[in-house]
Amino acid sequence: MEILTQVFTISLIAAILRTTAPILLVALGGAFTTKAGIFNIGLEGQMLMGAFFGVLGSMWTGSALGGLVFGVTASVLMAVIFSVFVVTLRANEVVVGLALNIMAGGLTISLTKAIFGVRGSIVNPAIVGMPRIHVPLIHDIRPLGQILSGYTPLVYTAFALVFLVWVILFRTRLGLYIRVTGEKPEAAQSLGIRTARMQHIASLICGVLAGAAGVHLSLGYIVMFAENMSSGRGFMAVAVLIFSGGDPVKVLLGCLLFGFADAASLRLQTMGVSSYLVLMVPFVVSVSALFLLSWRQRPKIIRETLQHLTAPVVAKGQGS
């Protein structure tokens, strides 16, 4: 009981919001590709490129905004490559996504060594982190101020985008075209909707948000870059998209679950729990969530299997 009171504190809630933000940003980007009928497993690589070039842009321009522009641009370029191969050239989306993830990991390591002459991480006083916003009035109210105030702009943006993405997907013509492209591509083409264009647009939007998620990691969450600092958050976003179907509200709930796992693991580590066990927590949550999803869908899968098995028997009976 004492351990629980030490873990579940006001600061834990604030940590959950901070750790949820990057996963939420990239997952909301992935919601567009999911709704467009693309399984985008390359989110991890896009985040990593955004994180590296966010630091690079911050140092070159002397501002966090410059870092954001550089990071988003790099991620969008990755999204363009993914989109060209998957949508235009009809390559396997899983193979392309994994290849880009591997490329991003190797490229950031090589560039770190080539540009900074170091290996492992970039820690430099020239890196300009994102400012923290102290909300007027709320900031001085405890404990509300501890929960809702003092975050970087991208944290507030991530949660505000849940509503905006929902509006775009379900209340605009662009969102309708994207959803029809993913759900009924033949019907979309018969209506004159350019499905390839919709998938390209969805991929580019995804690249923007994935880049912003990466920049948040290197300029907002902490002010540095480390090898593979995305640490599987892109894959967590993919897991969220699988069991949410790209619905923004369900995406938010799934990301909060992973944000809680991430924040709780950090808190447990400060309490002396073995780091090997702590690092397992987010991935155990991922596997558990996918297991529960599969278990929930089990009756549907069984029905479809039985229908498939009985179909030849029914057809044979009708033929006789």
Two tokens, residue 21: 């933000």
The residue with greater pLDDT, 216 or 294, is 216
Per-residue confidence at 12, pLDDT binned at 50, 70, 90?
Answer: confident
CB atoms within 10 A of CB 244: 21
Amino acid, res. 108 = T
pLDDT for the residue 149: 85
pLDDT tens for residues 298-316?
A: 565 555 555 655 555 444 4
Please name the fold of domain 2-319: ABC transporter involved in vitamin B12 uptake, BtuC (1.10.3470)
pLDDT tens for residues 89-130?
A: 999 999 999 999 999 999 999 999 999 888 888 999 999 999
pLDDT for the residue 313: 47
pTM of the model: 0.86
Beta strands in the chain, from DSSP E residues, in sequence order: 121-122, 225-226
Q: Residue 282: which of 270, 264, 267 has the closest Cα?
A: 264
Q: Would the pLDDT of 28 be above 50?
A: yes
pLDDT tens for residues 165-209?
A: 999 999 999 999 999 999 999 999 998 999 999 999 999 999 999
Q: Would the pLDDT of 243 be above 70?
A: yes
The residue with greater pLDDT, 254 or 85, is 85
Q: Would the pLDDT of 294 be above 80?
A: no
Q: Would the pLDDT of 259 be above 50?
A: yes
pLDDT for the residue 81: 97
Per-residue confidence at 42, pLDDT binned at 50, 70, 90?
Answer: very high
pLDDT for the residue 311: 56
- DSSP state letter for 187: H
Q: Would the pLDDT of 319 be above 60?
A: no
Peptide bond into 22 cis (omega under 30): no
